Structure 1
Amino acid sequence: MRTPGIFVNVLAAVAVLTSVAGCVPVDPGSTGSSATPRTSESSASATESTRLLDQLAIARSGSMSGYSREHFPHWRKAGKNCDVRDTVLQRDGTGVELSGCNVVGGRWHSVYDNKTLTDPADLDIDHMVPLANAWRSGADDWDDKKRGDFANDLTRPQLFAVSLNSNRAKGDQDPSLWKPSNRDFWCEYAQDWIAVKHYWKLTVTSAEKDALADMLETC
């Protein structure tokens, strides 16, 4: 599972998008918690997130005309017989079991709903900023290569394993319309959403910005 604040430093170093060269090794000592401690460090990162949020362009949600998930090609290959989905499952799980480099077992904590899961089939790899939301906020002007980079972005806090049910409930909604039921994750959720949108220069709606600002108040 993700250690709280694991992506905080990405806000200061979002210049390089790395391609996936192989499956990410599992840290056998990986633990973590669903809650983000209210420390001076998290307060400082919330301040930085607020600064980045203020830099995001505000615009009305764009049209879905022409949208297709096929315009965001994923999952990319990431070594023999595995892909980015396997990479995220291996990265975010503990006690991960492999067949080749395909993930077939392990233990995962879904930060959206605070559930523990042991079957990879019960997990989705969530795009923090959903593909359709990205399309409505600027990605419709990109080519498919750039949209593929976005859909497979392992550098920003864009991809992580969550319960299938929570991911389906989220759909393509922004934080003004959907928030994780696990309120302890709201701070990091807002920070991650802002980090992704800032790096990819995507817009936010007024309601979305207000919701993100409110969520940062929980940091």
Structure 2
Amino acid sequence: MRTRSGQRASVAALVAALALGVAGCVPPEEPEATPPPGDGGNAVEQLSQLTVASAGSMKGYSRDRFPHWRDTGKNCDVRDSILQRDGKDVKLSGCNVVGGRWESVYDGRSATDPSDVDIDHTVPLANAWRSGANEWDNAKRGDFANDTTRPQLIAVSASSNRAKGDQDPSQWKPANRSYWCQYAKDWVTVKHHWRLTVTTAEKAGLTDMLEGC
């Protein structure tokens, strides 16, 4: 039977062992809390961090100042990569996409011919130019135009892409209202990463869309 002094000694020894990490590994840090999917919380925070400024001039703008599409293999490019990523039952000739099925999240239209599908820049190149990209060099603009890491490139119907043009969310929104939340989050993610500015009207449009998340 242990004496009280023996028990105290045992407790002290255990405490010392734990302090030195002898009794086991250091507990992992708690993961950072993230907003539940679809709530738009992180996007709201990122939007608040964007600089609000008037749209810049289009002087000097050309799509050629944003070199795309970059090669991603023999006789194929970023466009093929996005078509393959976003399509179903995709058919290839080498690495070129020659068939498949695509549903445009902007308007719900379906296509089976890749020539009927456009690869949209979530933040249009001209909009990026007016919000800071005019100060970049062509190499950085090329990185932006071919960004497959952020939600900057998406396969959509040609008609919706051309209706959108270079308009921001205060001027154009997808016909598919159920996609507004995701569209706003993607727009903010891209602008936040590339440190592009937003206009007052653009920020208001994004805020309105994020409230529906």
TM-score w.r.t. structure 2 length?
A: 0.83
Preserved contact between residue 88 and residue 101 of structure 2 (Cα < 8 Å): yes
Task: Output the aligned Cα RMSD.
Answer: 1.1
Counterparts of 1:77-92 in structure 2, within 5 Å, are 77-92=71-86
Counterparts of 1:37-116 in structure 2, within 5 Å, are 40-43=36-39, 46-116=40-110
Unaligned runs of 5+ in 1: 1-11, 13-38
Aligned residue identity for 2:76:
C
State the distance in 1 between where 2:72 and 2:65 align. 20
Q: Which residue is 1:178 aligned to?
A: 172
Secondary structure (helix, strand or coil) at the match of 1:42 reads coil
State the distance in 2 between where 1:188 and 1:41 align. 10
Q: Which residue is 1:136 aligned to?
A: 130
Secondary structure (helix, strand or coil) at the match of 1:156 reads coil
Secondary structure (helix, strand or coil) at the match of 2:37 reads helix
Preserved contact between residue 181 and residue 210 of structure 2 (Cα < 8 Å): yes
TM-score w.r.t. structure 1 length?
A: 0.81
State the distance in 2 between where 1:160 and 1:104 align. 17
State the distance in 2 between where 1:120 and 1:40 align. 35
State the distance in 1 between where 2:156 and 2:101 align. 11
Q: Which residue is 1:208 aligned to?
A: 202
Deviation digits for residues 57-80 of structure 1, max 9, x if unmatched?
Answer: 000000000000000000000011
Q: Between the two proteins, what is the percent identity of the paired residues?
A: 67
Q: Which residue is 1:26 aligned to?
A: none
Moved over 2 A (4+): none
Q: Which residue is 1:122 aligned to?
A: 116
Count of paired positions: 180
Preserved contact between residue 38 and residue 182 of structure 2 (Cα < 8 Å): no
Aligned residue identity for 1:173:
Q
> How far did 1:214 drift?
0.3
Larger Rg: 2
Aligned residue identity for 1:110:
S
> How far did 1:40 drift?
4.2
Unaligned runs of 5+ in 2: 1-33
Secondary structure (helix, strand or coil) at the match of 1:41 reads coil
State the distance in 2 between where 1:102 and 1:40 align. 37
> How far did 1:41 drift?
2.7
State the distance in 2 between where 1:183 and 1:66 align. 35
